[in-house]
Amino acid sequence: MKPEIVIQATRRTIKGKQVKALRREGKLPAIIYGKHLAEPIPLLLDMHNSSHSLAKIGSSDLITLDVDGEQYPSLVREKQRDFIYGNLLHVDFQSISMDEKLRTTVRIELIGEPPAVKELSGILVTGEGKLEIECLPADLPSVIQVDVSRLEKIGDMIAVRDIIMPENVTLLSDLDELVAHVTAPMAEEVVEEAPVEVEAEPEVIEKGKGEEEEEEKK
């Protein structure tokens, strides 16, 4: 099975600080590496087209990188972005062999609605969001869906061991890792108002006329 996503690229000869000028010209620098390549190949991609395609590609999505007419089945290994604007600055691709198994991570997608949340006001707590797997590139899933509608009671949980994996995909993650569980709703905390302490006014004792006169003389 061939990857359906194709990204066009050309070999890049410009390196170092001069790469910034390429970005201003609408080009995206990249590199492809892998044990089947004699050495890493610096690349140039069209910034606009490749940014649109790469936005929909995850770490487990198989693509074809077309480098000057030569095709490389690949995975996207890293996307470097501008910290402020979020624009792509550089992309790393890994060239793979379609005949060799590979190890990678795949994203978990939770689907459905837990009855324990809908009917019992429970709180859905998510845990592990990715799985480590091993398979041939043709069998690589882009996402693993986990149905949380089985969580019917408070305290119900789904661990990695409960996930049904696609055929020909070997699960390598810790089987005891929690993927999702439902906890009891938090009780509303009743805050008792502290008694207001009223400062007592000093007691005024009526003075006799003689005492007042004595004080005025002082």
- pLDDT tier for residue 197 given thresholds of 50, 70 and 90: low
Condensed to tens digits (0 to 9), the pLDDT of residues 12-44 reads 998 877 888 888 899 999 999 999 899 999 999
Q: Quote the pLDDT of residue 15.
A: 80
Picking from 63, 95, 127, the residue at the C-terminal end of a domain is 95
Cα distance between residue 145 and residue 142, in whole Å: 10
Cα distance between residue 164 and residue 186, in whole Å: 32
CATH number at residue 60: 2.40.240.10
Distance set, CA 98 to CA 56, 63, 125, 136, 137 (Å): 22, 11, 37, 7, 6
Do 49 and 31 share a structural domain? yes
Residue that is written with structure tokens 């020909």 in the block: 168
CATH number at residue 169: 2.170.120.20
Query: In one letter, which amino acid is 9?
Result: A
Do 87 and 144 share a structural domain? no
Do 30 and 85 share a structural domain? yes
CA atoms within 13 A on the CB side of 163: 32
22-39 burial code (b ≥16 CB/10 A, e <16): ebeeebbbbbbebeeeee
How many distinct structural domains can be found in the chain? 2
Do 18 and 91 share a structural domain? yes
Residue 195 belongs to a domain: no
Q: What residue numbers bound the domain in which 32 lies?
A: 5-95
Do 63 and 86 share a structural domain? yes
Condensed to tens digits (0 to 9), the pLDDT of residues 50-100 reads 988 898 888 889 999 999 999 999 999 999 998 888 889 999 999 999 999
Residue 190 belongs to a domain: no
